[in-house]
Structure 1
């Protein structure tokens, strides 16, 4: 079962990672100034991850595919790792869809 892990970065801002059941990070957030905003970001991932149109499939400059998950307002709420190919990226999207809705939250901030 997946989980969201909240941490603080060097500047004291909050971030979360969505981890799959095997512990692999499948989605990383932007930095948030407050924990409340970070928690709102998690709720937004849980809600928007079920809508395939919210996944923006992209290609990095080095040719690696990756994706962003966007909120209803178009703001990016999470970014994936770089993948070796499109099939691997689609598997990552499927993992977010599967894990995000019922993921627990682990606060390590």
Structure 2
């Protein structure tokens, strides 16, 4: 699959969820103190993201 989420620890020891496409990071979440919280962030993105509107303010 060309796109995926990846959870890694940052330098501060927090868990961060990265969304990647062809191994390139597209966006990432804030740092969380637990891996479960990072997984919850991914679930929220998957649940709420598909219906998000696009705002073009250029």
CA distance in 2, matches of 1:35, 1:50: 23
1:15 maps to what in 2?
Answer: 16
2:6 maps to what in 1?
Answer: 5
1:44 maps to what in 2?
Answer: 44
Aligned residues: 57
Normalised by the length of structure 1, the TM-score is 0.46
Aligned-pair CA distance for 1:47: 1.0
Which consecutive segments of 4 or more residues in structure 1 shift more than 2 A?
55-58
In structure 1, the gaps of 5 or more residues are 59-85, 87-109
Normalised by the length of structure 2, the TM-score is 0.80
Q: 1:11 to 1:38 in 2, by over 3 A?
A: same
Aligned Cα root-mean-square deviation (Å): 2.1
